[in-house]
A and B are shown apart, each in its own frame.
Chain A
Amino acid sequence: MFRIIAKRQLAEDIIEYTIKAPDVTRHHRPGQFCIIRVASHGERIPLSIADINTEAGTITVVVQIIGHTTQELARLGAGDTILDVVGPLGHPTDIGTPERAVFVGGGVGVPAGNLIIREMKQAGAEVLAIIGFRTRELIIYEEKIRAQADELIVTTDDGSYGYHGLVTEPLQQRLEAGSEYDVVVAVGPVVMMRAVAEVTRPYGIHTIASLNPIMVDGTGMCGACRVLVGGQTKFACVDGPEFDAHQVDFDQLLNRLRIYREQEQQAAQAGPHLCRLEQQISEIQ
């Protein structure tokens, strides 16, 4: 059993949880993830780790409430427990020792940047962070990222805040203006990561994407998480989750991500109204 220490609603349907999981903090490095199971009949879902507090023995995760499992999680608050947290899983981010680094984050991929940028800074890099959201209301982790990065650009698709456009546009402009970077790390929706890879490809900049395929065990046992990288099948949970973005077959990843979409939607529809209602009731209380 793992206790929820704190819960914070960051935006609509985006919640930050701080969970006591001392063993996960022990050897955790930026870029690694964990898998949680909320309740006994629930699924195992992979989550990025947004922050870690070794002394308190806590991890922080940011969850978008989209499916049945995350809806169930959303009903829990500080003091409640979840059944399983296992990690850290996967390889840490391998950024080398860059002088100039870029973090590109989109949506719920942004919080992962918190630790990745910290790592870049520790490696001695000057860091540009570009974080993008659909609209102003959905902006999360802006202050945390600002506090770490040397420069921050926030974009919104609808122009309601910051730069009006996609995260790739400021990146493209910098590159065209002659800025040089040693590494770019992209975490976010697949289409965003694919677009970032296409922008950096002509410049030959080492670009890392943190992939988010469907997972089950997270220990390399089932192959649900397989992705095609450089023409070879890799298991994202043990070989990744971060890969050379210029080698990743993003189209295949997108195709595989829709495998359970229909079933997920059915499951989600079975519950959300009740969940929202219960959530509101518990908030009133």
Chain B
Amino acid sequence: MRTEFRLALLATLLGACASVPRDAGFAEAADLAHERGGLELVWRRGGPEEAELDARVHALLAVPLDADGAVAIALLQNRRLQALYSELGFAQAEVLQAARIPNPLLHLEARLPSGGGLSALDLGLEQDFLSLLLMPQKKRLAAETFEVAKLRVSAGALELAAETRVAFLRLQGGEQRLALAHTALEAAEASFELAQRLSEAGNLRELDLALEQAQREEARVAVADAELATIEAREALVAHLGLYGTEARLDTLAPLADLPADDGLGVDLEARAIAASLTLAMRRHEIERAGRVLGLEETTRFLPELDLALAAERETDGSWQLGPGLGLELPLFSQGQPELRRAAAELERLRATYVADAVELRSRVRAAAARVRALHARASFLRDGVLPLRARILEELQREYNAMQVSAFRLLLAKREELGAEMSYAATLADYWVARGGLDSLLAGVSPAPASARSALSPSMGLALNSDSH
């Protein structure tokens, strides 16, 4: 049939203009994630390479896990990230949709003559011609959407990496704190046991025995607190890693990295973060798209809805008449004002939001940098000031003890005070690396949700500094 032929030809002509990458933009998103965060993104879509990817995860778990290893596992195993990759498919569909000619509308109308005989048939084929005219603009809209989707994938991967890093640091810091709490408990137990032996020899008041026991119990509470915090930190990490079963145990972690000599802050932080921000990049595409939407509305405002039609008519006498048709919307009552207003408002909203986002980002960068600086200073004070002093105090108290100037209880308390300082340092060091990671994320263009896991800094060290009373 001629009509079919002509329509098919049209569709082919128009469809050839819409091109979508076969990997749906994943390679571009992966490249950006690699460029910004050194990440290796792998889209697990089944197939023979799955076994090899599983082996990679096993290999990473076979050695003491460090933060980079944790990130690598998360990129391979976290299925929520894999689900995000699928969003590229939705955006791809939109692009394809934009490139398609709307399907023509076929009318079929039969009029039965009252007196019998042949019915009169109207056959009509209508095509929305305006859509054809606007197709290039719509394709550009879809392209913006697709860009946003790719950015969203890169940002999602970078955010997952950042959050995994935080979770890992929280667990590292927590385990260090737990180990120190155990040692502090040993010291408290030794102190209590010495008190018991003094008591058995008849040399100690019940009061002093009770005071020592209270300290031992408090040290136990501190261990219980540290244990719970470690369990929670491990679960948070495991969830990010996408592990379960025996692989979720994570028995051996590498120790926290040492504090670097300087706080590691670069220059032009705000400008760099603004330039890098994927959120702002997405907003820009959205603004671009909204602008195009507005432009489209303006284009179509006085363009009447124009339908081209091909009509075939069989008369009751059996003869066919063929002729063109034209459907025309008369813009008498509506010239598209609501559509125009909506599009303009959307553009205003996006522009204002963009500025707000940028201002907030600058603030977050300053706050993140200040936090890095402050935690670096705090960790330095602890490492270079408090820890050596605690060690020296312990050494001097050992001398005082040797000279029978202070009791063994005071000496053991000093040991616990030293352990308390070490706990404080471990917590601060973990917090520092978390803060560094947070700032690095901002400079890489993402703003991961503020780590919900509470800071490793904890006031409860289980130390009651009152045992000088005997």
Do chains A and B stick together as partners? no
Interface set of B (CB-CB < 8 Å, partner A): none
Interface set of A (CB-CB < 8 Å, partner B): none
